[in-house]
Structure 1
Amino acid sequence: MHSMINRAIQGFLCRYHGETIWSEIARQAGVSSEGFEPMLRYDIGVSESLIRAACSVLGCDRFNLLEDLGAYLVSLERVRRLLRFGGADYVEFLFSLDEIRERGLMTLPNVELPQMTFSQRSPLDFVVEVGGDCADWVAVTAGMLRAMSDDYGTLAVIEPVPAGPGRAGHVRVQVLEADFSDGRSFALVEPELRGIA
């Protein structure tokens, strides 16, 4: 597992639960509270230990924790920009999800992102199928899709459906109102790069 995944878990826990809680989770998971070395790869068991310890210390459900982690990832500008390049509005963004893994590898090399398959049930009713070996990605994806609907100012119902026997995990997205609010501002060129010729 790439260090960036573990660092994201650490950042999420520190931001919303504080350094003291993070230190206790790190202790229970058997990792240093100082965190993870950038660009190193860690055994997937490290991420699993972090998630289990976080659920234990916080007394929360695993699926809900990971959904909140997905929403947190969208707050990271590098991830948000990667996703916002998918479209000018939320529906365009949804149509771009088939390509998100390839775009992600250009921005975040060696990070194991799941393959997403997008389908449309009706004009405003969509299904995002989440591939890969890790069922946790359905929860993370649901959190990201919910946060992105807020980012675009779109009112949507996000319904995660974990994988089951003979069924791939997926997230159903029903768009209720495309222009529900103003959403967050976004420019293709980052502010510090404007004016550079």
Structure 2
Amino acid sequence: MYGIVNKSIQDLITEKFGEDQWVAIKEKSGVDIDFFLSNEPYDDDVTYNLVVTASEVLGIPAEDILHTFGEWWILRTGKEKYGALLQAGGENLKTFLVNLPSFHNRIMLMYPKLTPPEFKVSDIEENSIHIHYHSKREGLQEFVRGILSGLCKTYEVEVDIELLQARSEGSTHEIFKVNW
């Protein structure tokens, strides 16, 4: 993953739990990188180690950390780094979610070594949509749920996000049903 992801995790932990907790997490994880370069790719293990270690140090389930980080990614990192791109996705939640499959195509112009997930949509209804999440990276479904939750907060829409299928249960990809 790119350094911007790890830097965002650092920012989240530092702001919510304090600099001392970040230092403890970094030391215990064995990550000996002084600072993350946003445009530099890092091994996925760095990110996974930070999340697992944060879970241990903070006493919070990794799934909760991933969910919170997904929201943070949209509400803080996304708005700060990709504000115009997010705004171009649509003027309401439904339009943004329908346009979600093309979002990473634009991001890849900024990060040419990116291995992005693929999103597809189906079952588009007046008040719901199915989001299909395909990725070579496993274990990030709660991060995606957090991203969806952050988008809902951005558009000030109350939603229910239901996981319909998951790779952990033998499926080929995750499907989320977003109801508003």
TM-score, scaled to structure 1:
0.80
* Contact 2:129/2:178 (8 A) holds in 1: yes
Equivalent residue, structure 2, for 1:95: 98
Equivalent residue, structure 2, for 1:86: 89
Equivalent residue, structure 2, for 1:174: 179
Matched, 1:42 2:45: no
Equivalent residue, structure 2, for 1:189: none
Q: For 2:51 and 2:88, locate their aligned partners in 1 and report how far apart those are by CA, in whole Å.
A: 30
Matched position secondary structure for 2:90: coil
Q: For 1:72 and 1:81, locate their aligned partners in 2 and report how far apart those are by CA, in whole Å.
A: 17
Equivalent residue, structure 1, for 2:109: 106
TM-score, scaled to structure 2:
0.87
Specify the code of the residue in structure 2 equivalent to 1:58.
L
* Contact 1:73/1:79 (8 A) holds in 2: no
Matched position secondary structure for 1:159: strand
Q: For 1:138 and 1:83, locate their aligned partners in 2 and report how far apart those are by CA, in whole Å.
A: 21
Q: For 2:46 and 2:156, locate their aligned partners in 1 and report how far apart those are by CA, in whole Å.
A: 36
TM-aligned CA deviation for residue 143 of structure 1: 0.8
> Closer, same or farther in 2 for the Cα pair 1:98/1:7, shift >3 Å?
same
The sequence identity of aligned pairs, in percent, is: 22
Matched position secondary structure for 1:136: coil
Matched position secondary structure for 1:83: helix
Q: For 2:24 and 2:123, locate their aligned partners in 1 and report how far apart those are by CA, in whole Å.
A: 44
Matched, 1:128 2:131: yes
Equivalent residue, structure 2, for 1:183: none
The Cα offsets for residues 120-171 of structure 1, whole Å up to 9 and x where unpaired, read as: 2532121111101213332222111111111112121122454221342122
Normalized per residue, the structure richer in helix is: 2
Matched position secondary structure for 2:89: coil
* Contact 1:139/1:160 (8 A) holds in 2: no
Matched position secondary structure for 2:121: strand
> Closer, same or farther in 2 for the Cα pair 1:47/1:57, shift >3 Å?
same
TM-aligned CA deviation for residue 82 of structure 1: 2.5
**Structure 2 gaps, min length 5:** none
